[in-house]
Amino acid sequence: MKVKILTEKELRQAVGVNLEAVAAIEAGFSALAENRAAMPPIMHIEVPEHQGDVDIKAAYVQGLDHMAVKVGAGFFNNQKIGLPNSPAMMVAINTRNGFVEAVLLDNAYLTDVRTGAAGAVAAKYLAPQAIQTAGVVGTGAQGRYQIQGLICVRKFDRLLAFDLDKERLATYVREMEKALQLPVIAAESVQQLVKQSQTIMTCTPSRKPYLDEAWIHSGLHLTCMGADLPEKRELMPEVLGSVNLLACDRKSQCFNMGELHHGLDAGVISKATDITELGDMTSGKRSGRQDDAQITLCDLTGTGVQDTAIANLALKKAQEMGLGTEIDM
């Protein structure tokens, strides 16, 4: 029995945030909505003395050759010692016999790709068709991958960006302007960015809400993906009560973390509130945006079906490209 080892460098060659990745993630959400997937709750382990945590996510999707089990960590002191904050890897298990067939040493790259692709799925169904200005809050990795996802499904004329780290913001503006070949402008505040944008991605690890209900306007779409732990939050909870269409990747998960979790705690929403899962839209069970005036919001916390979907795509592309090293088990 042989096991294929794929490195981050090889996986970067194999997959990226593009229409193929978006289609794979969309299919994963549909499988979840149509009960063709099994996805357990996230296993979460806190390591407080090192400002760290470890999450284990997994899912089985009918029709795919492999199921992925991902171990992803967030150790936020790592930057002080020259290491990445969010190391991760995936194990691909053959769905016919249960044997491990591949180890994907992606260092969280596949998580970045599938998260960017999920943002694209949200925008496909919820963002207005006509976007003059897109906005991004947070200029780290997801600040880039979310915009890569957005351009797969929508055109826009300019990008506003905001970050508390002005040096990182300046670098982002310079590099993304070159990559996108359109104006990228540093916003002076989140308020300015929200008021001037038609579609916004929030991509920060904030534990204090910074986006106010008073700034929300007709036609706006928000994709919020920073609150992937119960303690994290980007929105004042009242924002959830100001939208016309509220969506998320998985309600049962978002009720325990993410913006919906904080909305529940504040009493702004309840578990009876009309909330549409992305899979309901991708499978045709429910509609997305209905008109240009609607205010829409999608809460993304990251699901195991996304990991399984992107792992299968990565393995397929790696096989086609002859990537990876096989070792005897």
pLDDT digits over 198-241, tens only? 999 999 989 899 999 999 999 999 999 988 878 889 999 999 99
pLDDT of residue 205: 87
- The distance in angstroms from the start CA to the end CA of the chain is 6
Tell me if 206 sits within 8 A of 236, measured CB to CB: no
- The yes-or-no verdict on residue 328 having pLDDT over 90 is no
pLDDT digits over 163-191, tens only? 999 999 999 999 999 999 999 999 999 99
- The yes-or-no verdict on residue 38 having pLDDT over 90 is yes
pLDDT band at 80 (very low <50, low <70, confident <90, very high): confident
pLDDT digits over 269-326, tens only? 999 999 999 999 999 999 999 999 999 999 999 999 999 999 999 999 999 999 999 9
Chain mean pLDDT for the chain = 96
Amino acid identity, position 301: T
pLDDT of residue 228: 82
3-state secondary structure of 199: strand
Percent residues over pLDDT 70 in the chain: 100
pLDDT of residue 168: 95
pLDDT band at 156 (very low <50, low <70, confident <90, very high): very high
- Contacting residues for 98 by C-beta, under 8 A, at least 6 apart: none
- The yes-or-no verdict on residue 79 having pLDDT over 80 is no
- Long-range Cβ contact pairs of 38-41 (< 8 A, separation 24 or more): 39/250, 39/303, 39/304, 39/305, 40/304, 41/252, 41/253
pLDDT digits over 130-147, tens only? 999 999 999 999 999 999
pLDDT digits over 242-262, tens only? 999 999 999 999 999 999 999
pLDDT of residue 93: 98
- The yes-or-no verdict on residue 197 having pLDDT over 90 is yes
- A 10 A CB-CB count for 51 gives 14
pLDDT of residue 233: 94
What domains are defined for the chain? 2-111+305-328 (3.30.1780.10), 120-302 (3.40.50.720)
Higher pLDDT, 53 or 30: 30
pLDDT digits over 85-127, tens only? 888 999 999 999 999 999 999 999 999 999 999 999 999 999 9
CA contacts within 13 A on the Cβ side of 117? 28
